[in-house]
Chains A and B, each alone.
Chain A
Amino acid sequence: DAGVTQSPTHLIKTRGQQVTLRCSPKSGHDTVSWYQQALGQGPQFIFQYYEEEERQRGNFPDRFSGHQFPNYSSELNVNALLLGDSALYLCASSLVRAGGPNQYEQYFGPGTRLTVT
């Protein structure tokens, strides 16, 4: 049973550049959420995708955008990178359409460490 996978593992970018991070959900899951975790902080919710649409969004600027594909995998794009975007980016998946008490239980991937210089 494949868990949540993310690529790349690490990434170094320069201010002003653009970056794309990728996530494959746990096998059978249909919903993907993205979180940003700065050093020493708890993760902050960026947005969530279900049925290829953004369903919820946290307090992040429009420079952060995403996409979900028909196979439920997802991308996170960040434009015009700032030094403050340096963080661990976590992807989480869940199975929402099945309903039931655990429909919102989230499983996290290993993360992508983004460093902006």
Chain B
Amino acid sequence: KQEVTQIPAALSVPEGENLVLNCSFTDSAIYNLQWFRQDPGKGLTSLLLIQSSQREQTSGRLNASLDKSSGRSTLYIAASQPGDSATYLCAASLRGSRLTFGEGTQLTVNP
């Protein structure tokens, strides 16, 4: 059974700081790993998807890495802004697209 853990559960940083969010998974036979952003009471917005054959993906100030052998993924956010404040969720899928989510990291970026 796939289990996904995210550390830390909450993070508060000053504006402009670079930060790293961590995600670990127990079954290394993943098909892909997705990072999502969720604003309070809203749905999920996909940020980055990393295929199992890839090591990282980048979009703007976001960079996600994947290390299947160690069961870890990280989301790096450069030059954080108050608008980045949200909950960040990682989700792993085995073949078949069923996603297993972590419980999220609640990020607050203070002006």
Contact = CB atoms under 8 A, between A and B. Distances in A.
B99 interface: yes
Interface residues of A, number: 32
Contacts of B25: none
Contacts, number: 72
B98 A45 contact: yes
B99 A56 contact: no
Contact of B42 (A41, A58, A101, A110): A110
Interface string B70-108: 000000000000000000010101011111111110000
B41 A43 contact: no
B60 interface: no
B103 to A, nearest CB: 5
A107 B42 contact: no
A111 B43 contact: yes
B46 interface: yes
Interface stretch (A11-19, A77-85, A88-96): A88-96
A31 interface: yes
B24 interface: no
Contacts of B101: 35, 42-44
A108 interface: yes
Given A41-B103, A42-B102, A101-B51, A106 B96 contact: no
A107 B99 CA distance: 12
Given A96-B97, A106-B34, A42 B104 contact: yes
B32 interface: yes
A64 interface: no
A55 interface: yes
Interface of A: 4, 6, 31, 33, 35, 40-45, 48, 55-56, 58, 88, 90, 92, 94, 96, 101-111, 113
10 contacts: A4-B43, A6-B43, A33-B97, A35-B99, A42-B101, A56-B98, A101-B32, A108-B36, A109-B43, A113-B41
